[in-house]
């Protein structure tokens, strides 16, 4: 196996396992809360959506620190590692009180705005009263994971996620039975606290991250560097989330059956797309580690990332197309919803394959310092996707799938143009150097 490919797989597999355990814990959590009735389910679903949005905030210092630590590790610069660590913790310390305290104070207006009133508001407020202050633990955990990943250790974050989510599965039944939706929130926060404590121990044991070399860079400069690095990645995530939300509104025009089928299908497809994002993280880390090796190394990593992720995308498309009827039946979908969902899953293959290639190659841009360019491509793709989906929705869910594929093709083409332009600029600089 190619060296770059082996390294990508080694980094990506633990990240993917970490993603899967988080999704599994969320599903089981919902199953236990469902015993409390519809308002409780709606409340927890709303609170979970808020947490997904706040994950975009955590990416500013989490992913930004990952890339900066990886750059410093690749350059064998302990002082730069120390600066990246200080910048990450300082930015996290600045952001966390705003989110935790502000969210707690605004929990009731937030619940009413999101749920529009009704019986789900009181349990949502009760859940948020614990979960929003608990974001301090979540943010710190994201930063610890980012530091370890930047140092090349993706297995420890995986183990911490397995531990935290495993404990949630054990604690949920007892705490939910005893305290209702507040028990669900408390279970999540308490189990994350334990995982965070062990993560901090892992940081102290990591020889790279506990290096005693002092950084000459002031804390303010380190914070600004982290912000510049992580903000485009956070914005990329937020734009994609906003685009997905707008797409649901477009699908809603097709009726309840279409929305139900689309929702189930996308939940299933999420298992595949998480694999693409795992390869993306691996590509960003590996590219940053080898940044000093030259452009050719970056191209080689890009080719291998596309090969690994593209293979996963092709396999996912074939598997979903073959097993679509059984998947919809497993979710208890009625005949009409099942038929629409099967059709959408079988039409989504081109989208999955193109998305696999784009997401994976994006990791090379992030690791190489091109996250801002990648954000522009994402904005372009979202701007194309929504009008296309609106126009093609007359064809039903197959039209939506076609719009998704076409928008992703535009993003892949834009990324290819940027890659080719960078190569030409490099060749031009090389020619001038030879003439000189």
Cα dihedral sign, 12-16-18-19: positive
Cα dihedral sign, 29-252-397-390: negative
DSSP state of 374: H
Q: Where are the domains of the chain?
A: 1-227, 254-436
Query: How many Cβ atoms from other residues are within 10 Å of residue 154's Cβ?
Result: 24
50 vs 28: CA distance, rounded Å:
18
279 vs 197: CA distance, rounded Å:
27
pLDDT at 433: 37
pLDDT at 411: 93
**Percent of the chain at pLDDT above 70?**
93
CB proximity list for 121: less than 8 A, separation 6 or greater: 43, 108, 111, 112, 115
End-to-end CA gap in the chain: 41
3-class SS of residue 232: helix
The list of the chain residues with pLDDT below 70 reads: 1, 26-27, 30, 211-216, 291-295, 333, 422-436
Q: What are phi and psi of 294, to 5 degrees?
A: 100, 170
Helix (H) or strand (E) holding 220: helix 219-252
pLDDT at 211: 58
260 to 205, 266, 396: CA distances (angstroms): 48, 10, 13
131 to 104, 136, 281: CA distances (angstroms): 9, 9, 27
pTM metric for this prediction: 0.82
Question: What is the radius of gyration, based on Cα positions, of the chain?
Answer: 22
Residue among 267, 239, 263, 238 nearest 251 (CA): 263
pLDDT at 33: 80
Q: Which tens digit of pLDDT belongs to each residue from 342-373?
A: 999 999 999 999 999 999 998 888 888 888 88
pLDDT at 95: 93
> Phi/psi class of residue 318: alpha, beta or left (left: φ > 0; alpha: ψ in -120 to 50)?
alpha
pLDDT at 215: 61
251 vs 255: CA distance, rounded Å:
8
For residue 188, the number of C-alpha atoms closer than 13 Å in the C-beta half-sphere is 26
For residue 30, the number of C-alpha atoms closer than 13 Å in the C-beta half-sphere is 15
pLDDT at 431: 44
pLDDT at 435: 40
Q: Interhelix angle for 219-252 vs 38-74, to 10°?
A: 140
Q: Interhelix angle for 3-33 vs 256-289, to 10°?
A: 140
């Amino acid at each position: 196996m190619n060296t770059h490919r082996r390294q990508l797989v080694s980094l990506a597999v633990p990240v993917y396992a970490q993603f899967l355990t988080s999704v599994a814990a969320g599903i089981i959590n919902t199953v236990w809360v469902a015993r409390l009735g519809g308002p409780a389910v709606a409340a927890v679903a709303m609170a979970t959506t808020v947490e997904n949005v706040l994950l975009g905030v955590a990416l500013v210092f989490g992913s930004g620190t990952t890339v900066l630590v990886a750059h410093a590790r690749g350059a064998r610069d302990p002082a730069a590692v120390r600066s990246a660590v200080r910048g990450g913790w300082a930015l996290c310390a600045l952001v966390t009180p705003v989110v935790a305290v502000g969210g707690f104070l605004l929990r009731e207006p937030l619940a009413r705005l999101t749920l529009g009133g009704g019986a789900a508001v009181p349990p949502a407020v009760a859940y948020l009263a614990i979960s929003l202050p608990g974001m301090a633990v979540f943010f710190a955990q994201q930063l610890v994971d980012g530091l370890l990943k930047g140092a090349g250790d993706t297995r420890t974050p995986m183990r911490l996620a397995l531990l935290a989510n495993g404990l949630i599965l054990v604690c949920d039944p007892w705490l939910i039975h005893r305290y209702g939706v507040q028990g669900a929130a408390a279970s999540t926060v308490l189990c994350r606290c334990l995982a965070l404590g062990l993560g901090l121990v892992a940081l102290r044991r990591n020889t790279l991250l506990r290096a005693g070399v002092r950084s000459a860079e002031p804390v303010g400069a380190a914070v600004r560097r982290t912000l510049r690095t992580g903000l485009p990645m956070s914005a990329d995530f937020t734009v994609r989330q906003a685009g997905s939300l707008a797409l649901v509104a477009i699908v809603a025009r097709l009726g309840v059956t279409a929305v139900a089928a689309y929702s189930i299908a996308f939940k299933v497809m999420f298992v595949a797309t998480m694999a693409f994002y795992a390869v993306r993280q691996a590509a960003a880390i590996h590219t940053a580690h080898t940044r000093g090796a030259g452009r050719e190394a970056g191209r080689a990593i890009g080719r291998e990332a596309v090969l690994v992720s593209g293979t996963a995308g092709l396999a996912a498309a074939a598997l979903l197309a073959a097993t679509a009827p059984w998947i919809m039946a497993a979710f208890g979908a009625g005949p009409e919803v099942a038929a629409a969902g099967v059709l959408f899953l079988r039409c989504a293959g081109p989208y999955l394959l193109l998305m696999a290639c784009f997401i994976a190659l994006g990791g090379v841009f992030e690791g190489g310092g091109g996250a801002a360019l990648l954000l522009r491509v994402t904005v372009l793709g979202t701007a194309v996707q929504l009008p296309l989906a609106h126009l093609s929705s007359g064809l039903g869910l197959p039209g939506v799938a076609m719009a998704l594929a076409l928008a992703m093709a535009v993003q892949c083409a834009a990324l290819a143009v940027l890659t080719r332009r960078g190569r030409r600029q490099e060749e031009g600089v090389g020619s001038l150097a030879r003439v000189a």
